[in-house]
Chains A and B, each alone.
Chain A
């Protein structure tokens, strides 16, 4: 229901939303094949050992052509499928481009509200710019692997800037030292935006090597984030984007309901270049620059 924007989901979300906010929310992002799902499985095992109830929301891409998707993140978690303290939900992006599905935040909020102490959000395999996850979670772990590029890659803008914890996974492979060194170099170049310097954790998710340290660093970030006010700043940003997204969707939906025919006609006019998209939007909203 939540995923499908079912109107019946609204009451559920209304009651759950105000109860959410207690869980530790952790984002796992990184390029395809870097071992995000395997690392999530290792983190699940670690948090379960510590007695936490854990929820995982894992996002995989939808086909841009058919809308279909193959959601395979559960495969890495199959040893834990029957653990009562673990809930896994797979989501397809359904055309969203920021690395998450549109309803991922709402899904995470529901799981938080029903009492999962740790909510892990695994993004699709990302490139350089899919940074939506930072608006959703307390702590973002960026997973990279040896051999992805040199120190120039490490100083580019984008995804690397949202990392609260940097993970060099597959650390048993050659090049792990260089990968960690390049990241350290990148961090040494300038002061951090927030005052937090992301730690670099080397892991081998398949064996669990380094995962305990990762858990400690995630905790350390959370503690810092709460004390420094960063946590509140992020929650405020997240709330703003959530409200604005809903507002946008609702406006488009209401417009479609009331003026669907006018909308279709204007879209056709834009397509044939009789008018431009800016004028079309103004017409639909019934406003012009002057009236504002």
Chain B
């Protein structure tokens, strides 16, 4: 252990928005991020977009990760991106995962979602992505 300023841990909100109550995936990802040394604020299920964004603001996070399995991604992601912009969270990454058809990806990207991880994405891909993307934004 060396003396000096350690980089502060990456802080991430992992949220489940809307009516989707299946949170196994969100919990597994939260755990993986924890094991990668990140601080994960887990909100529980049935959050409104307003609640997710308020949490991101109060918790001063680097990234917001949404798990959406309900098919409502084309509504929830843009709404959250818009609220994040309104609240001045322009340095905060929005990413997600779940059951999201490839055909929707360009639309989501255009509306402010930085990255979507499809089923089968590895923990390694997610943590590597977060480290790199957050690293770029912090500098």
Q: Are B39 and A75 in contact (CB under 8 A)?
A: no
When distances are taken between beta carbons in the complex, the residues of chain B under 8 Å from A72 are 41-42, 44
Number of chain A interface residues as a range? 20 to 34
Interface of B is mostly: mixed
Q: A5-B5, A72-B42 are in contact. Are A90 and B34 (CB under 8 A)?
A: no
Q: How far is the CA of A197 from the CA of B3 in the complex (A)?
A: 44
Q: Are A94 and B9 in contact (CB under 8 A)?
A: yes
When distances are taken between beta carbons in the complex, the residues of chain B under 8 Å from A66 are 34-37
Q: Are A70 and B34 in contact (CB under 8 A)?
A: yes
* Residue A46 lies at the interface, judged by CB distance under 8 Å to chain B: no
Q: Which of A62, A71, A88, A263 contacts B3 (CB 8 A)?
A: A263
Q: Are B43 and A68 in contact (CB under 8 A)?
A: no
* Residue B30 lies at the interface, judged by CB distance under 8 Å to chain A: yes
Q: Are B35 and A63 in contact (CB under 8 A)?
A: yes
Q: Are A67 and B37 in contact (CB under 8 A)?
A: yes
Task: Pick out which of these stretches binds chain A: B52-60, B69-77, B88-96, B100-108.
Answer: B52-60
When distances are taken between beta carbons in the complex, the residues of chain B under 8 Å from A90 are 39, 41, 59
Q: Are B59 and A82 in contact (CB under 8 A)?
A: no
Q: Are B8 and A3 in contact (CB under 8 A)?
A: yes
When distances are taken between beta carbons in the complex, the residues of chain A under 8 Å from B34 are 63, 66, 68-70
Q: Contact mask A55-79 → B, CB, 8 Å, 1/0?
A: 0000000110011111110110010
Q: Are A78 and B37 in contact (CB under 8 A)?
A: no
Q: Which of A5, A63, A71, A94 contacts B41 (CB 8 A)?
A: A71
Q: Contact mask B6-48 → A, CB, 8 Å, 1/0?
A: 0011000000000000000000001101111111111110011
Most-contacted residue by chain B among A69, A75, A260 (CB, 10 A): A69
Q: Which of A74, A92, A252 contacts B9 (CB 8 A)?
A: A92
A to B contact number (C-beta, < 8 Å): 88
Q: Which of A75, A89, A264 contacts B42 (CB 8 A)?
A: A75
* Residue B50 lies at the interface, judged by CB distance under 8 Å to chain A: yes
Q: Are A71 and B40 in contact (CB under 8 A)?
A: yes
Q: How far is the CA of A44 from the CA of B98 in the complex (A)?
A: 34
* Residue A87 lies at the interface, judged by CB distance under 8 Å to chain B: yes
* Residue B51 lies at the interface, judged by CB distance under 8 Å to chain A: yes
How close is B24's CB to chain A, nearest CB, in angstroms? 15
* Residue B86 lies at the interface, judged by CB distance under 8 Å to chain A: no
8 pairs of A and B residues whose beta carbons are closest in the complex: A68-B34, A256-B3, A4-B8, A75-B44, A81-B51, A66-B37, A67-B37, A69-B39
A residues with CB within 8 A of B:
3-5, 62-63, 66-72, 74-75, 78, 81-82, 87-90, 92, 94, 252-253, 255-256, 260, 263-264
B residues with CB within 8 A of A:
2-5, 8-9, 30-31, 33-44, 47-48, 50-51, 54-55, 58-60
13 new A-B pairs (CB below 8 Å) besides A70-B40, A78-B43? A3-B8, A63-B35, A63-B37, A68-B37, A68-B38, A69-B39, A88-B58, A89-B58, A89-B60, A90-B41, A253-B3, A255-B3, A256-B4
